[in-house]
Amino acid sequence: MAAYGLYTHIASNKFRSMLLLAGLFVLIYVLVYAGALIAEVVIDSDRSADYYLMAASRDLVKAFPYATGAAALWIVIAYFFHQDMIDAVTGGEDVTRQQQPRLYNLLENLCISRGIPMPKLKIMESDALNAFATGLNRRQYAVTVTTGLLRALNDQEIEAVLGHELTHIRNGDVQLMIIAVIIAGVVGFFGELFFRMFTNLSWNSSGGGSSSSSSSSSSSSDSDSKGSGGGAVIVVIVAIALILLAWLLSQVVKLALSRSRELLADAGSVELTKNPDAMISALRKIENRGELPGATSAVMELCVDNPREGFADLFATHPSVDSRVQALVKFAGGHDPGRLALPSDTEDEPDDRPQQPADRQVPPPLPSGPWSDAKTPGASKGASQGASQGPWVNPAGPWGRH
């Protein structure tokens, strides 16, 4: 799907996002198939690999409606309670115009200018500089801002950040990201469950084998090597590989959803505010200062900036601030001031300048000038006389004669 402008980029991105979400649902069925493989090996370990693969396929067909129903139930629960869970983690609280008139008016003006329904406004007590949007429908939309962001940014920069979050809401990014996090959570949960089941079963089977008699183990060694020695081991390896692949792909899908949308949200903020420099300076101030203590990775993925980086940036959910700023400079005509220092950054730095002793008082400077006869303490006699004399020292005046 070709994209030639901002709105066609948004439409193209939505189309690709829907395909990616469909891929996440496929990963759930991959996990179910891997679980069926492990279950078949546990039930009967004397079969060939072909038998296990065919039996697991039949089990997948039977479990298909149940897996779909379980995933749908998980989404329904998250649909109604995701905001409560996020607020419990972050401590966000609703605020009114009377409590935060500055922030409320900035958000309301942006909504009125574009005819956007006013989302709920939440404040999170934190020194971190960050903000995020949540919600799956108009009644649930909310924008959460940290107190640290309010203190560090001016009105234009806060307006740019609010425009960024409103763009996420306008483009439907919030819904897709929350659903992606939910489905990826399902994949991670069942993947860990299968691993725990498998490790427990392997541990129990090894313990039971050690208590068996040597005669029975020697008599069954030939049958194990012919039956389960090949098929069961291969199938278990395939199941583990499928679980690992499903988890890895779920993370990749989340990254694909998040990274591409942050650039479009930056562009949408500029379109709302007509001020690319404000968005750039806001990003420079937020850079590496957005870590929310105690927040889960799912919450950080919704934020303006996520300073948590994966291995060699492979699992970084957001583009780097440098790349986002370069895009705004190139396509929006903004100016990059470079990394910006905040007053809080200098408070913690040690002062290397020599300090005066507490008991030593420095006398205030005395007035001096061409019409003053005050003498500077500690100065030499000649210097003081020279400094104290002026054109009017002679009573006869500067034109008088001696």
Q: Write out the catalytic residue numbers.
A: 165
First to last CA, the chain: 101
The alpha helices in 91-116, defined as continuous H runs, are 101-114
Q: What is the DSSP letter of 312?
A: G
The two tokens of residue 344 are 């809080």
Q: Are 343 and 362 in contact (CB under 8 A)?
A: no
Signed CA dihedral, 236, 237, 242, 245: sign only: positive
Give the start-end residues of each E strand in 47-140: 93-94, 120-124, 131-134
Which CA distances in Å does 47 have to 223, 229, 233?
A: 11, 9, 11
DSSP state, 232?
H
Angle between helices 155-170 and 276-286 (to 10 degrees): 100
Residue with tokens 């005046």: 397
d(CA 227, CA 51): 11
CB-count burial class (<10 Å; 0-12, 13-18, 19+) for 303: buried
Bridge partners, 123 (sequence order): 93, 145
User: CB under 8 Å to 346, separation ≥6 — which residues?
Assistant: none
State both tokens at 185: 């959570």
CA–CA separation, 254 and 181 (whole Å): 7
Cβ atoms of 106 and 155 within 8 Å: the answer is yes
In 3D, which of 204, 232, 183 has the Cα closest to residue 78? 183
Query: 242 and 27 in contact (C-beta within 8 Å)?
Result: no
CA distance 238 to 245: 10
